[in-house]
Structure 1
Amino acid sequence: MTKPATDDDMTNRTATHGPAADRVPGLDAAAGPFGRLREQLLGAAERFGAGPLSDILAGIVEDVDRALREPLEIFPVCHHSPSSATAMVRRLREKRPKVIYLELCEDLRPLLDELRNCTLPVALQSFASEIDGFPESWAPLSVIAPITEASAEYQAISYALTTSGVELVLVDRSTDHVFQWEPRDADKDDSDSGDSSGSADDEAALHGDAVGVEIGDLRPRFAELEEHLLHHGKVRHWSEWWDQYVEQPLVDADYDTYRQVMVLIGSLFRRLRPEGSARTRVDEDRERYMWTRIREHLASSGADPADCLYVCGAFHAASRVAEFGLHGATGTFEISPRTATKWQYGLIPSSHSAIEAQFGLAPGSVSIAAATWAKALQRSGIRPFRLTASAPRKARVKPTKPTVTVTDRLSQFLTTAPTPHGIDEQELLGWCVDIVRLARKNGYAASTADAIAVYETSVLLAGIRGRRRPTPYDFQDAAVTCIEKDTVPGRRDIARLCEILLGGDRVGKVGYDALPPLARDVLDRLRPLCLDLKKRTKQRALLDLDAEPHLRPCSDLLWILRRLLPHGVAEPIMGSRRLGERAIQESWDLAIGRNMRAIVELGYEGVTVEQVLEQRLRKAVHAPDATAAGALAAVEDSLLYLDSRRFTNELGARAVELLSAERTVDDAPEVLRRARMLLAYYQTTEPELPEWLKAFVTAGYAHYCTLLPTAFTDDATGARQVAAMLGFLLGMENLALSLGCDHTQLELAVQQSHPEDPAKVALLWAAQTQLGLLPLDELRRRCDDLLDNPLVVPSFPLYLSGFVQALEPVPSLAPLVVEILSKAFARLPDTVLLPWLPKLIGTLKDHAAEMVPVLVREAGRTFPATLRALDDWTPPWSAAPAASAPSARATDAGPAGDLLAEHPATCDAVAALLGLPPDWPTPSSPASKANPLLAEHPATAEAVAALLT
C-alpha cells in the first residue's frame, strides 16, 4: 500500500511540480478561462495558511487548462463509469472522429474484432506459459483487460468497428512491457498489477491470478485523503463515495463540464501521490509510451489531429511528463524491445464480481454502475453503440469539426449543489418488496413489516448521511439491518440478494466463433452427449459405452480433460481408467461453461487436447529436474490417453536415460511400483516386451547393483529405498538374467554391503537368505539371539521394521516375521514390552504401512480362527522337528528317553559337561550312556515327562 504523504513530501513535490513548473508556456497565471477559479482557490488556501496547499490548488487548475488546450482532444475516463460512457456516446455522435487512440495494450488489437461474438462482460487476455526474459517463478504470465457495456472504452470500440473509415489505434504498452516494468523483487504492493486476492467464489475467481489492466484507475493513492473523503462523505468504501459525489452528478452533465471535472480529479489524485514510488514511475513511463505511439501514428498516417480523439484515464490526462502533447519533447524516451516470450491471445468470460474482486471495488458496485447506465440511457434517450455478430457496418457520416473553445465550467459545478437523481419513491418501494420476496425464497422469515422497515430505514440512513434521497448503498445497508438474522439459512446472505436485485452478477459469454480452435474442438466432440455445455450449471452425463459405442470418443476426451484441467471441470462419478481396464459405464459431472477460461487458456498451447497433453508430457520428461519415476508416469499417461506407440517408446527411452544418469535412489520405491505395473500390462496385452522396457530392466539391474553397497551404508538413504532396490533386483532377476545380466553382480553387491543401521541389517539378512547365502535356520537363530540380548531389545523394533519391509523383495519371509513377532510378545517381560509397543507401532506406520496387510494375512493363516481352537493350538515353530535317525536313537527309557532321542544335541551338550562321551546305542544295543544319568536324577526326567503328557 502507498504510504501517506508527509509535509516534507508535499514541500518537495511542490518545489518540483508547482505552478511555475507546470505553467503552460505563454500563459499568464491570472489569464485564461480559469483565472477567476485560480484566484478563488488561492484565496481559500491563504485563509488556511498553508503554503504547499496554494501551489497544489493552482497546479490543479493549470493541469485542467493544459489538458483542455491540447490540440489533440483528450477524453478522460474512469473505468466502468456510466458517466464516462454516456459522455463518450454524446461526444462520438457529435464529433465523429476518424482516428481513436485508446489506452489499451497495443498487442490486444486483433481481439477487439471478436467482441461482436461475445456477451459482455468478457476480458481480453494475453497469456504465456513459456517465458523468456522473466523470472521462472512468474510463469505462467497472464494479463487481462475486462470490458463491460457501461464503459467508455467499449463505446469507443463499438463506434470504431461499426463505422466505416474509422481507425482504432491502441497506444498503451504491450503486455510484454507490463511485465518488463514489474519490480523483480517479491514485494509487488507498489506495482501496477491492479491485482487482488479476490474471493473464493467461482465468479470472483474468473480472472484467476492474472494482472489486470484498466483504463482510468481513479482512486487516490494517498491513504489519508481517501480516509478523509470516506469519513466526511459518510460512506464505507471508495466505490460508494465515487458513485455518490462523481457518477450521479456527472451522468447528465454537458461534455465540457465532464471533461474539466474528470481532469480536475485526476490532477488532484496525481499531485497528492508520493513522488518517486514504483507506481509513479510506471505511470509516467506509460504516458511517455502512449504519446510516443500517438506521434508515430500521426507522422506515418498523416491524420489531422482535429479528427482524432485520445481516450485515456483521467489520471493520465493530467500528465506532467515532458513528452505530453503533440508539441512535447521528442526523442527523450526510448521504447525497449520485447522479450522472446511467445504470447497467446484470447477472450475469456468475465463477471461483475470478478472485476470487483480484482480491482478492489466494493461488492455490487459494477452492478450498480450498470443499473445507472441503463437509467441514464432511458432518461436521456441517447442510443449507445453496440457490437453484434450480424450487424452491418454503418455508412460513414461526415465529421464535424467544432471549434475548441475552453470555458470555465468548474466554478459553477464546484459551487452548485447537484440535482439529485437518486432513487424515486416508487423505485425504492419496489426494491423493498422485491428484497423481501427474495429473502423468503432463500429461507428468511421475512414479512411485509420487514419491507416497510427497510423503506423507512433507507430514508433514515440517507438523512443521517446528509443525502436528499437514499442511494442503492443505503438500501443495501437497510436491508441487511432489518432482514438478516444471526444465521444465514441458505447459500446467499442479504447483501448478496441485494446485489442480485440491483442488477445481479452478470456473467459474460465468449461466443463459439471467438473461441480458440481447441475450445471449439472440445465442444464439437462432446456434442453427442446432448448437453448444453455453455451453461454455467453443473451437468450430469451418463455414458453406457457398451450400448452406445459411439460415446467412447467422448469418454476418451473427458479423461484427457480431467488430466489437463483443474479439479471440478470434468469429474467422474462412476468409472475409472487404469492400465488394462476399460469401464463399460461411466457417469460424469461436467462444468464446462463455468470453467471456459481454463479451456481457452488450454487453447493457447495447441490445437487439440491430445497435442497439448503430448507437449506437456514431453516437456516434463526433458525438464532439468526430470526423474525416471516421472518419465514412467508419463509413459503410463501416454498409454492411457494418447494410444501412440511411437510417442510411448520415446518417453520410455527417455526413462532409461534418466535412470542411468541418477546418482541417488530416492525415487526407487516409485520406480519399482511403476515398472512392475508396466511389466504386468505389457505381459498381458503384448506378445513381447517393447525394447525400451527391456533396456530399462537391464539398466536398472546394473544401476541398482552398483549403488546397493553405498545405499546400505549411507545414512541419507532410508530402509524403504533399500528395500525397493532389492525388490527391483530380486523381483526382476529372472527377466534381467534372460536379457543378459549377470547374477554374480548381485551376489558381489550383497557381499560388499556392510550396514550398521538395524533396519538395513535386517534387509541384508533377508537378501542373503533369498540368494542362499544365509540358511533360514541361521536367520531364525540370529533373531532369537537378538531377543535374548537385553542390550539389543530396545532397538528390536528397527530390526523388525527391516524384516517387514523385506517382504517386498522376499515375500517368502512372511512366516518368519510372524514368528519373530509372536516370540517377542511371548518372551519379553512387561517392563520391556510395554515401552516397546509405541515404538513398534510407530515404526510399522512410518516405514512399512503397505507391508502390514501382507503381515496380517500371514498371521491369519498361522493363528487359529476361534478362541476354542487357541487352547489346543501349538505354534508351528514350536513343533518338534523329525529326528535324523529315529530308529538308531530310540531308547527304552520311557518318555524321558524319547525326549532325549528327539533332541540329541541337548543330550550331547550335557554329556560333554559331565565328561561323558556322546555315544549312542545301535538298534541292537538299546543300552545308552544317558541311562546312568537318568538313574541318578530320576526327578528331572519325570518332571519333563509330565510336562509333555
Structure 2
Amino acid sequence: MIGTHEGTFEALRAQLQETAATFADGPGALEGILLGMVDDVDRAVREPLEIFPVCHHSPASAIAMARRLREKQPKVVYLELCEDMAPLLTELRNCRLPVAVQSFATDVDGFPADWSPLSVVAPITEASAEYQAIAYALDTPGVELVLVDRSSDHVFQWDARGNEPAEPGADPGAPDAPPAEEEAVLHGDAIGVEIGDLRPRFAELEEHLLRHGRVRHWSEWWHQYVELPLGDSDHDTYRQVMLLIGSLFRRLAPGDADRVRVDEDRERFMWTRMREHLAATGTDPADCLYVCGAFHAASRVAEFGIHGTDTFEISPRTATKWLHGLIPSSHAAIEAQFGLAGGSVSIAATVWAKNVKRTRVQPYRLAGQAGAPSKARKMAAGAPVPAVPASDKLTGFLRQPPVLDRLDEAELLGWSVEIVRAARRNGYLASTADAIAVFETSILLAGLRDRARPTPYDFQDAAVTCIEKDSVPGRRDVRRLVEIMMGGDRVGQVGYDALPPLARDVHDRLAPLDLKLQQRGVQRALLDITSEPALEKCSDVLWMLRYLMPHGAARPIMGERKLGERPIQESWDVALGTHQRALIELGYEGVSIEQVLEQRLRRTAYSPQATAATVLEAVEDATLYLRSRRIADELGTRALEVLSAERSVDGAPEVLRRVRRLLAYYRTSEPVLPPWIESFVKTGYAHYCTLLPTAFTDDDATVRQVAAMLGFLFSMESLALSLGCDRTQLELAVAQSHPQDPSRTALLWAAQVQLGHLSRAELRARCDALLGNPMVVPAYPRYLSGFVHALEPVPGLTDFVVEAVSNAFGRLPDPVLLPWLPTLITTLRSGGAELAPLLIREAGRIFPGRLAALDAWVPPWRAPQGPEAVLVARRTDGDRGCSLLAAHPATCDAVASLLGCEETWDTAGPESRGAALAALHPDTATALEVVLSGAGHR
C-alpha cells in the first residue's frame, strides 16, 4: 500500500488558504471547499487499503490501472460492480468487446408490476480500467476478484422511480447525447451501471469549464484537460489528481437528497462488503486494491475505510428471480446511455491504442479473448514493488503550465486525406482543395482554442466547416464520417459458448441454412421445402422468431403461414447477429423458443386486459406456430370464459373473423370439432342475442360492430341450432331492437329479410319511400351505408345493395350525393374490404359488359314485373328450357320420377314434349325459368 505522513499536503493547504483569502476577500465557504478537497485526497491516500480512482472508459485510467497492477500485483481486487454479476465475467473470454453484463427479471416480486421487465447493464470496453482489473484477476493464479457494489436487486430497491434515475446516466435531452441510431439502442431501456461516472452535477460549474476551456461539450473538456495530461503521469500523480477531481465534483454537487442518499448508501455498501471479506479471509489490506469511481473514492461516510464503523445494515433482496447474461454493446449505445458526446468512446479507443504504443505498457487481456495476441495472454507479472510513502504530487501538477504537444503534421495530413476520401464515397463533391482546407482549418481552430496540437474534436469541426456545405447527399453527415474514421462505432458480439441455451438451440436448428448467424447485417435464406423436407423445421423456427423478436430479425420475403396450409418454398431475410441482444433476452424467458412462445401466449390470454378477440388470436397463433392441440384447447376454453364476461361488442368483428377461420380449419383438418369451439359457438349465439337489442341503440357501438354480431348469429346459426340453441331467441332479439340511427335501421331491415319477417318487395318499397320523401333524402346515404355493412350478415342481399346504390346515383341530388361518396369509399376501405368484391362481382353480373349496350340496357329492377312479363319470359326462356330437357333425357327422367310423373316421352318434337312437361308441372317450369334466367345473365 502507499503510505503517507501527517505533513504531506501542508504546503498545498497553505497555498489554497492564501488563494481563498485573495479571491474571496477573506476566509469563508471557498476556503472550506478548497481545504476540504485536500482533506478528502489526504484521507483517501492515507487509507491502508489502496483506493484506485477511475473514470469510465478513460484511456488514462486504463493505462494507469495496467501499470499499477503489474507493479503491485494485488492478491484481491475489489471492483465497483454489481455483486451478483460476478459469475458472468468469465464468459467475457468468448466475446468480442464491447459487451455488457446484464441482469434481467420479468417475474417481479417486491416491485411494482408496471416496472417489469427489470434490466441492469454494465458495459465493458477494452479501453476501460475495469476490464484491465477483470483480465488481471481472472488470468492470474491466486488472485481473487470480488465485486462489492450493490446487487441488481438493490439498484431497484433504491430507485426513486419518477423522481430521479437510479444511476447517474444519460439525460435524454442532454446536449452531449448522440442521435438515436440502431446501435444506440442496444441496451434498450435498461439502467446502466459503470465504474466512475465523473461529470459535474453542478450545471453552472460545467458551463463555466466549457466556456473557459473553449470546448463544446464535456467529453471534449475531459479529453483536453484531464485525459491528455494524465496519459503519461506517474501513479501517485494520477491517483491524487483523480481524487481531487472526484472531491471537487462531490462538494459542488447540488443537494439532491435522493441522489445523495443513493451515492452514500452505495459507498457504505461497498465498504461493508470489503470489511466482511477481509474478516472472513484474513487477507492483509496491503495485498488488496479497491477499484472504484473517483466520485466514490473521495467519500466522507462514517463507514469509509477498513477501520470505519459497521452501522450500515444491508437490506435483504426481494423474491424477484434475476437472470444474468451477456449482451452485445457498442460505442454508440454507451454514449447514448451515459450522455456522452457522439464519437467520444471511439476517440477514447483510438487514444488508448496510441497510449499503449507510446508508453509501452503491456495491457491485460483475457485468455481466449477475440483478437488477443498470444504474448499478452502468456506474459507473467514481475516481482511486486515495495510500498513507498506518497509525496505531494498535486502541487507540482497544478502549478505546471500546459504541455504544448508538437504538431504531428503527418497524422493530421493523413486525417485530412482520409476524410475527403470517405466524403467522396458518401456522395460529397470533395476535392484535394478540401483536404488542404481541413488541414489548415484544424490548425487555426486549435490556435484559437489555445492548443498547439489539434485534437480530434478540432479536426471534426474543421471537416464539417470545409466539406459539408448545404445538405447531406448520403445517409451519413461529415461528423458521423469523422467518428467512423477515428475508430467507428465498434459493436461487440457475444460468442456462441457464452450464449444462453435458447440462443444456442436456435443457432443449431438453423444450421442447415448454412448462414453466418453471428454476423451482423441481413442475410438471405432460400428454403425449397418440396425438394428438402428437412428445411421445414427451419421454417418453423424462423416463423416463431418472427413472432417473438423485433421487426427485421427474421423477415419473410416469399411465403406465408396460414391455417391448414403447408409451406412449399420460402425466402427469408435473417439478421440474428444484428438483433443478438433480443435473442439473448429470449433466453431469459425459457430454454426453447417453443416454451417462450407458449408462455407469451398464456400471458396474453390470461391478462386482465384480454378480450375474446385477443384470446382467439392466441389460439390461432398456437395452432399456426406451435401446432399444439393441447395449448389451443386450453386457450380456447379461456376465450369462452372471456366472451361470457364481456359486456360490450367492441371486439365482435375480430371475433367473427377469427371464429370463421378456426371453424373452417377444424372442419377440414379434424374429424370432429373441438369441444371448446362448439361451446364457444353455442355461448356466443346466446351472448350476442342478449346484447343485440342494446347494441342497436347504444351510441358507443358502431355499425360495423352490430353487423359483426348479426354476422356471427346468422353464419353460426346452423351449428348453434344443432348444438341445442333456440332460434326463437334470435327472433325475439330482432323484434326487441328499435334503432333510431338510419344505418342501424337498414341493418335491422336486412336482419328481418334474413329471418323472413320482411320480403324483398316490402324492402324495395321502403327504400322507394325514402327516396320519395324530401325530408329523408339527405339521410338516405346513411341507410345505404347500413346496407353495405349488412352484406356481412346477409350476403344474399348483394343484388339489392347494388340496386339501392344505383338508385341513389340516379335519383339523389348532387349536394347530397357528392359529399356522401368519400364516406362510401372510406367505409369500404376501412371496414368493408371483404365486402367490396361482392358488390363488384354482382355489379359486373347485372350491368352490360360493353359501352354500346348501355343505352338500350334496362336494369332488372325496372323491367316489367306484371303477368305479361311472366308470359313473355315463359315463351322466350321456356323454349330454351325445353331444348335443354330434350338434350339430357336421363336427367329429365330422374327429375320426372322425383316429381311423380310417370308419362313416357312423346314422339313429337322437343318443343312440344317440353311444352307438355311444362304444362304438367307449371311451378317447376317457373322455377327452372328463373334459374335459367339467372344463368343467362351470368
Smaller-chain TM-score range?
Answer: 0.7 to 0.9
Provide the C-alpha distance between the structure 2 equivalents of 1:545 and 1:195, rounded to a whole number of angstroms: 50
**1:596-675 equivalence runs, <5 A:** 596-675=580-659
Provide the C-alpha distance between the structure 2 equivalents of 1:518 and 1:838, rounded to a whole number of angstroms: 52
Task: Give the one of 185, 208, 217 matched to 1:228.
Answer: 208
**1:243-392 equivalence runs, <5 A:** 243-331=223-311, 333-389=312-368
Q: What is the CA-CA distance between 1:835 and the residue it aligns to?
A: 5.8
Answer yes or no: is the 8 Å Cα contact 1:171–1:290 preserved in 2.
yes
Provide the C-alpha distance between the structure 2 equivalents of 1:411 and 1:94, rounded to a whole number of angstroms: 25
List per-residue Cα deviations over 1:898-938 (Å, max 9, x = no partner): xxxxxxxxxxxxxxxxxxxxxxxxxxxxxxxxxxxxxxxxx
Answer yes or no: is the 8 Å Cα contact 1:543–1:586 preserved in 2.
yes
Answer yes or no: is the 8 Å Cα contact 1:423–1:472 preserved in 2.
no
Provide the C-alpha distance between the structure 2 equivalents of 1:854 and 1:226, rounded to a whole number of angstroms: 69
* Greater CA drift, 34-43 or 797-806: 797-806
List per-residue Cα deviations over 1:1-59 (Å, max 9, x = no partner): xxxxxxxxxxxxxxxxxxxxxxxxxx99xx62111111111111111125211111111
Provide the C-alpha distance between the structure 1 equivalents of 2:595 and 2:267, rounded to a whole number of angstroms: 41
Provide the residue aligned with 2:888 in structure 1: none
List per-residue Cα deviations over 1:453-508 (Å, max 9, x = no partner): 22222222211111122222222222222233323333332222222222222221
Q: 1:504 and 1:839, CA in 2 relative to 1: closer, same or farther beyond 3 A? A: closer
Task: Give the one of 639, 659, 668 matched to 1:684.
Answer: 668
Provide the C-alpha distance between the structure 1 equivalents of 2:15 and 2:650, rounded to a whole number of angstroms: 78
Q: What is the CA-CA distance between 1:882 and the residue it aligns to?
A: 3.7
Provide the residue aligned with 1:192 in structure 2: 168
Provide the C-alpha distance between the structure 2 equivalents of 1:83 and 1:830, rounded to a whole number of angstroms: 80
**1:838-917 equivalence runs, <5 A:** 848=832, 850-883=834-867
* Greater CA drift, 438-447 or 611-620: 438-447
The residue type equivalent to 2:302 in the other structure is: A
Provide the C-alpha distance between the structure 2 equivalents of 1:244 and 1:585, rounded to a whole number of angstroms: 59
SS of the aligned residue for 1:871 comes to coil
Answer yes or no: is the 8 Å Cα contact 1:143–1:213 preserved in 2.
yes
Q: What is the CA-CA distance between 1:395 and the residue it aligns to?
A: 11
Provide the C-alpha distance between the structure 2 equivalents of 1:818 and 1:638, rounded to a whole number of angstroms: 40
Provide the C-alpha distance between the structure 2 equivalents of 1:445 and 1:822, rounded to a whole number of angstroms: 61
Answer yes or no: is the 8 Å Cα contact 2:107–2:117 preserved in 1.
yes
Q: 1:522 and 1:832, CA in 2 relative to 1: closer, same or farther beyond 3 A? A: closer
Provide the residue aligned with 1:160 in structure 2: 137
Provide the C-alpha distance between the structure 1 equivalents of 2:821 and 2:92, rounded to a whole number of angstroms: 70
Provide the residue aligned with 2:906 in structure 1: none
The residue type equivalent to 2:304 in the other structure is: F
Provide the C-alpha distance between the structure 1 equivalents of 2:54 and 2:822, rounded to a whole number of angstroms: 70
Provide the residue aligned with 2:741 in structure 1: 757
**1:357-756 equivalence runs, <5 A:** 357-389=336-368, 400=384, 402-403=386-387, 405-420=389-404, 424-756=408-740
Provide the C-alpha distance between the structure 2 equivalents of 1:837 and 1:553, rounded to a whole number of angstroms: 50
List per-residue Cα deviations over 1:402-451 (Å, max 9, x = no partner): 33523110000001124445762322222223223333333333333333
Provide the residue aligned with 2:52 in structure 1: 75
**1:193-212 equivalence runs, <5 A:** 193-194=169-170, 196=172, 199-212=179-192
Q: What is the CA-CA distance between 1:335 and the residue it aligns to?
A: 2.0
Provide the C-alpha distance between the structure 2 equivalents of 1:715 and 1:459, rounded to a whole number of angstroms: 73
SS of the aligned residue for 1:589 comes to strand
SS of the aligned residue for 1:549 comes to coil
SS of the aligned residue for 1:146 comes to strand
Q: What is the CA-CA distance between 1:78 and the residue it aligns to?
A: 0.3
* Greater CA drift, 790-799 or 440-449: 440-449
Answer yes or no: is the 8 Å Cα contact 1:78–1:215 preserved in 2.
yes
The residue type equivalent to 2:751 in the other structure is: A
Q: What is the CA-CA distance between 1:399 and the residue it aligns to?
A: 7.3
Provide the C-alpha distance between the structure 2 equivalents of 1:105 and 1:383, rounded to a whole number of angstroms: 28
Q: 1:82 and 1:604, CA in 2 relative to 1: closer, same or farther beyond 3 A? A: same
Identity of aligned residues (%): 69
Provide the C-alpha distance between the structure 1 equivalents of 2:178 and 2:121, rounded to a whole number of angstroms: 15
Q: 1:852 and 1:188, CA in 2 relative to 1: closer, same or farther beyond 3 A? A: farther
Q: What is the CA-CA distance between 1:840 and the residue it aligns to?
A: 5.5
**1:77-156 equivalence runs, <5 A:** 77-156=54-133
SS of the aligned residue for 2:838 comes to helix
Provide the C-alpha distance between the structure 1 equivalents of 2:866 and 2:123, rounded to a whole number of angstroms: 88
Provide the C-alpha distance between the structure 2 equivalents of 1:598 and 1:833, rounded to a whole number of angstroms: 53
Answer yes or no: is the 8 Å Cα contact 1:518–1:602 preserved in 2.
yes
Provide the C-alpha distance between the structure 2 equivalents of 1:446 and 1:184, rounded to a whole number of angstroms: 50
SS of the aligned residue for 2:854 comes to helix
The residue type equivalent to 2:782 in the other structure is: L
Provide the C-alpha distance between the structure 1 equivalents of 2:609 and 2:441, rounded to a whole number of angstroms: 63
The residue type equivalent to 1:816 in the other structure is: F
Q: 1:564 and 1:886, CA in 2 relative to 1: closer, same or farther beyond 3 A? A: closer
**Structure 2 unmatched runs, 5+:** 872-938
TM-score, normalized by length of structure 1?
A: 0.87
Provide the residue aligned with 1:907 in structure 2: none
Answer yes or no: is the 8 Å Cα contact 1:194–1:213 preserved in 2.
no
Q: What is the CA-CA distance between 1:857 and the residue it aligns to?
A: 2.7
Answer yes or no: is the 8 Å Cα contact 1:195–1:212 preserved in 2.
no
Q: Does 1:804 align with 2:781?
A: no
Q: What is the CA-CA distance between 1:191 and the residue it aligns to?
A: 6.0
The residue type equivalent to 2:323 in the other structure is: Q
SS of the aligned residue for 1:540 comes to strand
Q: What is the CA-CA distance between 1:195 and the residue it aligns to?
A: 5.8
Provide the C-alpha distance between the structure 1 equivalents of 2:219 and 2:870, rounded to a whole number of angstroms: 102
Q: 1:119 and 1:420, CA in 2 relative to 1: closer, same or farther beyond 3 A? A: farther
**Structure 1 unmatched runs, 5+:** 1-26, 888-949
Q: What is the CA-CA distance between 1:752 and the residue it aligns to?
A: 2.1
Q: Does 1:217 align with 2:197?
A: yes
What is the count of residue pairs matched by the alignment? Answer: 857
List per-residue Cα deviations over 1:66-104 (Å, max 9, x = no partner): 111112111100001111111111111111111111111
List per-residue Cα deviations over 1:201-244 (Å, max 9, x = no partner): 22222222221111111110111111111111111111111111
Q: What is the CA-CA distance between 1:886 and the residue it aligns to?
A: 9.6
Q: What is the CA-CA distance between 1:722 and the residue it aligns to?
A: 1.3
SS of the aligned residue for 2:290 comes to strand
Q: 1:58 and 1:542, CA in 2 relative to 1: closer, same or farther beyond 3 A? A: same
List per-residue Cα deviations over 1:750-769 (Å, max 9, x = no partner): 22222222222221221111
Q: What is the CA-CA distance between 1:659 and the residue it aligns to?
A: 1.3
Provide the residue aligned with 1:921 in structure 2: none
Answer yes or no: is the 8 Å Cα contact 2:84–2:152 preserved in 1.
yes
Quote the RMSD (CA, aligned, Å).
2.4
Task: Give the one of 59, 63, 68 matched to 2:36.
Answer: 59
Q: 1:737 and 1:195, CA in 2 relative to 1: closer, same or farther beyond 3 A? A: same
Q: What is the CA-CA distance between 1:595 and the residue it aligns to?
A: 1.0
List per-residue Cα deviations over 1:603-626 (Å, max 9, x = no partner): 111111111101100111111111
Answer yes or no: is the 8 Å Cα contact 2:445–2:454 preserved in 1.
yes
Q: Does 1:815 align with 2:799?
A: yes
